[in-house]
């Protein structure tokens, strides 16, 4: 890919396993609520009119889920969920792939989160990234186009100099494509997209 300077990634669900982290938290309250939670979370970030911190969005999503399930919300439930989210573990192929890619390209993150939380998630892995952009920095959440437009400004990169990789067409890839940003699907959950890889290190076979 000519002119490629930066490879950016979605973080939660793409490089780190937020599904297991959040699923484990929810299972403490009541098993089997994971899919419904993620549907609520997506609606919340997609329909925001004013910026809110992601920790508050997580708690709001949990409150809605528990209300639907007729389970009383407890502030400790919300705090547990936020802490578990922040400790989402890296997929092993993410670490291997990022180590290899970092030797050839600048690496960035464009993530729907906040600084305090992402600092916990990336602890010990910070050296693998040149740019870390959160919704707290841009004041917009993906899939809003402005999340990408503001991230490009922060990284001082043109849209034809970037490749964005995500496991989520709805959050990331559809918007990137609409903006003319090269994109690739890291297939962790069985979604369909035109170009895809199954492990981060497979990118090197394509570039």
Q: What is the pLDDT of residues 108-121, one digit of tens each?
A: 999 999 999 999 99
- What average pLDDT does this structure show over 83-89? 98
- Length of the chain measured in residues: 207
How is 189-200 classified by DSSP, letter by letter?
S----SSEESSG
Return the CATH fold of 6-16+88-206: Rossmann fold (3.40.50)
The average pLDDT across 191-200 equals 96
What backbone phi and psi angles, to 5 degrees, belong to 128?
Answer: -80, -5
Is the separation of the CB atoms in 164 and 9 below 8 Å?
yes
pLDDT for residue 206: 87
104 CB neighbour count, 10 Å cutoff: 12
For the chain, the domains span: 6-16+88-206, 18-86
CA atoms within 13 A on the CB side of 195: 14
pLDDT bin (cut points 50, 70, 90) of residue 1 is low
Predicted pLDDT at 2: 72
Domains 6-16+88-206 and 18-86 share a fold: no
CA-CA distance, 108 to 110, in Å (whole number)?
A: 7
Other Cβ atoms less than 10 A from the Cβ of 59: the count is 18
CB-hemisphere CA count at 13 Å for 15? 26
> Which tens digit of pLDDT belongs to each residue from 62-83?
999 999 999 999 999 999 999 9
Could you tell me which CATH number the domain at 18-86 has?
A: 1.10.150
């Amino acid at each position: 890919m000519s002119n490629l300077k930066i490879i950016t990634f979605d973080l939660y669900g793409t490089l780190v396993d937020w599904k297991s982290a959040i699923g484990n938290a929810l299972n403490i309250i009541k098993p089997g609520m994971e899919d419904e939670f993620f549907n609520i979370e997506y609606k919340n970030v997609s329909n925001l009119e004013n910026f809110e911190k992601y920790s508050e969005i997580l708690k709001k999503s949990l409150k809605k889920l528990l209300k639907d399930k007729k389970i009383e919300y407890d502030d400790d439930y919300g705090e547990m969920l936020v802490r578990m989210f922040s400790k989402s573990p890296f997929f092993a192929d993410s670490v291997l792939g990022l180590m290899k890619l970092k030797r050839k390209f600048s690496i960035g993150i464009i993530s729907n989160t906040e600084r305090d939380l992402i600092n916990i998630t990336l602890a010990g892995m910070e050296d693998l990234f040149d740019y870390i952009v959160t919704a707290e920095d841009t004041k917009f959440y993906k899939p809003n186009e402005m999340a990408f437009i503001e991230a490009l400004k922060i990284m001082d990169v043109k849209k034809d100099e970037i490749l964005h990789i995500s496991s989520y067409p709805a959050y990331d890839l559809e918007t990137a494509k609409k903006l003319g940003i090269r994109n690739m699907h890291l297939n962790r959950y069985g979604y369909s997209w035109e170009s895809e890889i199954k492990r981060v290190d497979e990118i090197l076979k394509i570039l």
